[in-house]
Amino acid sequence: MAQHIMLTILIASTLMMPAIATADDKPAKRDAAVKDVKAMSEEDQTALALSAAPSHVAKEAGIMIYGAHGKLTETRKSANGFTCIPTVMNLPYPDPMCMDAAVQQWMADRRNHAPKPTNKVPGIAYMARGGAHFEKDGKIVMSGDGAELVEEPPHWMLMWPFDATATKLPTAPNPSGVYIMFEDSPYAHLMLYQDPMKMTE
């Protein structure tokens, strides 16, 4: 019950913020195609990673980039609890993310196929360059097998184990700009189509 109340308060306050995009808004024009982020120089990966978050977050965020063996390596320690990476899925266009420690745990759990995320507090992640999700038969799915890649506008996310059904929120992009992704999974999380670069401190 407490989780439901807290989530409701957070969503209500978020919906009062300016610059919420709608489902009809098209993602901002992409830069030239990024064919393989992992093959980019350290300087370019760093710039791409930091572009995921507002400057007041990025300036003190940690940085992890892909090294010669294709594994993420820390190149700058975080001074504010956030860490930025140059790509989430190594898409043919930029999809960097800047996340706090709770989201790092959430991401690690998903990568390691844990039954559910183990972060104990809500996590925040920014994707100011936008990103993408997979859709199959009109539904967002976690795997790309036989699915269509659909672009998303700049957004941020709230990642925390909760009962997605209890929220009564939409489960697909819609005019409100807010929805639950992966609603049938323990990895359900809140998506907010609000440009992080237009958010103030």
Tokens of 124: 């925040």
Full residue range of the structural domain in which residue 133 is found: 2-198
- Give the lowest-confidence range in 20-24, 37-41, 53-57, 177-181: 20-24
**Two tokens at 21?**
């995009």
| pLDDT value at residue 13 | 39
Nearest to 124 by CA among 83, 157, 95: 157
For the chain, give the mean pLDDT.
83
Name which of 22-26, 142-146, 179-183 the model is least confident about. Answer: 22-26
Mean pLDDT of 118-146: 91
Q: Which residues contact 30 (CB under 8 A, 6 or more apart)?
A: 93, 94, 130
DSSP 104-125: HHHHHHHHTT-SS---SS-EEE
- Note the pLDDT of residue 26: 43
Within the chain, strands assigned E span 62-66, 72-76, 82-85, 97-100, 123-127, 131-136, 139-141, 148-152, 155-159, 178-181, 189-192
pLDDT at 138: 84
What are phi and psi for residue 63, nearest 5 degrees? -130, 135
Query: What is the tens place of the pLDDT at every residue in 62-104?
Result: 999 998 888 899 999 999 999 999 999 887 778 999 999 999 9
Q: Cα-atom radius of gyration of the chain, to the nearest Å?
A: 16
Our count of domains for the chain comes to 1
For 156, how many CA atoms within 13 A lie in the half-sphere containing its CB? 25
pLDDT for residue 91:
76
Percent of the chain clearing pLDDT 70 (strictly above): 82
Q: For residue 25, what pLDDT band results from cuts at 50, 70 and 90?
A: very low
Q: What is the pLDDT of residues 160-183, one digit of tens each?
A: 888 888 899 999 999 999 999 999
Do 177 and 191 touch, CB atoms closer than 8 A?
no
Q: Would you state the pLDDT for residue 69?
A: 82
Give the pTM: 0.83
